[in-house]
Amino acid sequence: MTDSKLQVIPLGGLGEFGMNSMALRYGDDIIVIDAGMTFPDAELLGIDIVTPDFAYLEQNREHVRALILTHGHEDHIGAVPFLLSTLNIPVYGTPFTLALVERRLEEHELLRDAKLNRVKRGGKIVIGPFSIEFIHVTHSIVDSVALAITTPLGVIIHTGDFKVDPTPTDNALFDLHTLADYGKRGVLLLLSDSTNVDRPGYTESERAVRPRLEEMFVKAERRLIISCFSSSIHRLQQIIDLAQEYSRKVAFLGRSMTSTTEIAHDLGFLHIPDGILLRPQDIMLAPPDKVVVVASGTQGEPMSTMSRAAVDNHKNLSIERGDLVVLSARIIPGNEKAIYRMINHVSRRGADMVYGSMNPPIHVSGHGSAEELKLVLNLVRPRYFVPIHGEYRQLSKHASMASHLRDFGLEETFILDNGDSIEIDSRGARRGDRVPVGRVCIDSGSLDDIVEDMVIRDRRHLSEDGFVLPIVTISKHTKKSENLPEIVSRGFVSFDDNADLLQNARQVVQRTVDSSSDEERTDWGVMQEKIRADLKRFLIKQTARRPLIVPVILEV
């Protein structure tokens, strides 16, 4: 490799949503942009999160100089602990982004040795041959940036995630002037977000949500419960402002919601008036018409605040007749069943439920639609273009959108898969060699439970600890388990020789079922998770082994 060759290597985030990570190499210097995660598909039993395989970076560890973060969403920072556990490289990001990263590193006991460097929006840093400017962009999370990376061969613009919000709630506008200035001077390569390329027009401003939220405050005669993403600080600010206007106290529920709001408040991104907060344990004691609860769990995740409250299994919140429950978030494809199940449970409790598309909207996207993507293309006018962040259909459509720039200096557009590379030198850009990529499955969210290959993992798991199937029958009419659960196992222990263990295990499952409410027993996702957790604890304590537990619930 010569010093005059620049390589662009996507490690994740192309042809898929999530796991965003990109490596840039010039000579013997590599920088990494983002290290994100994604959540597993339903068939990945026992897996909690999925991260990119950083094998290429590990193979070239002596050349990796730094990790640069564009913003604090999990699909961009979720894999940071797993990368830093292997390569303890300096990390650069904006203050809010790094505050979220600190929380992750603390959970994994990596914070003490981490080298975190805060860079304000508009700031510049130099790492080897790379000079990097942090350009402020508007997105659904605060402190988001695009990156202008000046290399010896030219400038690379990496947009991160963005939308062009003309009226952001914090009045911090997208820095289009800086982007346009780079465009005038000449940009070698543009890497641009493709998430909403198939949506025509413009994405609505975050301010568009306020009229609908205000309508909810006017409409709510009793308790108002709003569920939104904890990272949506602009949305949370609007809720707090309306709560003050309508003389309601605000209670935040959910671990991520509480943690993120504390960070945002400490850094000055969330302004909370004195005396407006309500302790979670006081929610049910306060007058219902003077309370607004802001809860996590928009996607109906089992054991989340909203899922538990929906079946009256939350220690601080019970949803009652006449309450108004608002889902201020989009229904992510794949989560429909869990979300509608949660909505049904809320409706059974006699509460009103507001969700879905409407005008004015109750939720707006944080990603730019087609016209905003065209605006960025027209401002930057790159020599080469690579669409990023999306499945192949989005990348392909974004590439087609850029075709008109051929009259303005665009030489070529590359649609890449993870592991593909582009090499750029004085003669131009071309496809390079592929690098090793893949995904790493994480069991239990621990650095010690990384699973590099699902087939190997399952074979090892089954060969060492076997599997256990607790089978529970629940009456459709009584909502009760009328017979003691059956337990089938293979490769675990011989229950014929361990009659007491079998009987006690059946009793554990039975107690889990009996202690659950009628509504929980009709929510198979919640029941399976509760049975799996309780039986896992029991078997580990009794046998020190961790079999694969797959609860089976039959309705009779």
Name the pTM for this structure: 0.83
196 CB contacts (<8 Å, ≥6 apart)?
A: 163, 203, 365, 367, 368, 369, 370, 373
Domain-terminating residue out of 442, 474, 494: 442
pLDDT tens digits along 412-436: 999 999 999 999 999 999 999 999 9
| Same domain as 466, residue 419 | no
Q: How confident is the model at residue 143 (pLDDT cuts 50, 70, 90)?
A: very high
Alpha-carbon distances of 374 from 13, 155, 193, 411, 513, rounded to whole Å: 21, 19, 11, 17, 55
Query: Does 477 qualify as catalytic in the annotation?
Result: no
What is residue 249's predicted lDDT score, i.e. its pLDDT?
A: 97
Q: Which of 387, 382, 405 is nearest to 180 (CA)?
A: 382
CA distance 8 to 1: 14
pLDDT tens digits along 174-222: 999 999 999 999 999 999 999 999 999 999 999 999 999 999 999 999 9
- Domain of 307 in residue numbering reads as 206-354
| Same domain as 231, residue 175 | no
Exactly one of 75, 193, 323, 420 is catalytic; name it. 193
What is residue 450's predicted lDDT score, i.e. its pLDDT?
A: 59
Q: How confident is the model at residue 1 (pLDDT cuts 50, 70, 90)?
A: very low
Query: Does 453 qualify as catalytic in the annotation?
Result: no
pLDDT tens digits along 295-347: 999 988 888 999 999 999 999 999 999 999 999 998 877 788 889 999 999 99
| Same domain as 373, residue 308 | no
Please, what is the average pLDDT of the chain?
Answer: 91
On whether residue 447 sits in a domain, the answer given is no
Exactly one of 158, 367, 398, 461 is catalytic; name it. 367
What is residue 545's predicted lDDT score, i.e. its pLDDT?
A: 84
What is residue 2's predicted lDDT score, i.e. its pLDDT?
A: 44
| Same domain as 390, residue 253 | no
Assign residue 331 the CATH number of its domain.
3.40.50.10710
CA atoms within 13 A on the CB side of 16: 23
CA atoms within 13 A on the CB side of 52: 37
Domain-terminating residue out of 287, 320, 354: 354
Q: Measured over all CA atoms, what is the biggest interatomic distance in the chain, rounded to whole angstroms?
A: 79
- By the 8 A CB rule, do 316 and 253 touch? yes
| Same domain as 306, residue 185 | no
What is residue 458's predicted lDDT score, i.e. its pLDDT?
A: 66
What is the mean pLDDT of the segment spanning 472-487? 81
CB neighbourhood size of 219 (10 A): 12
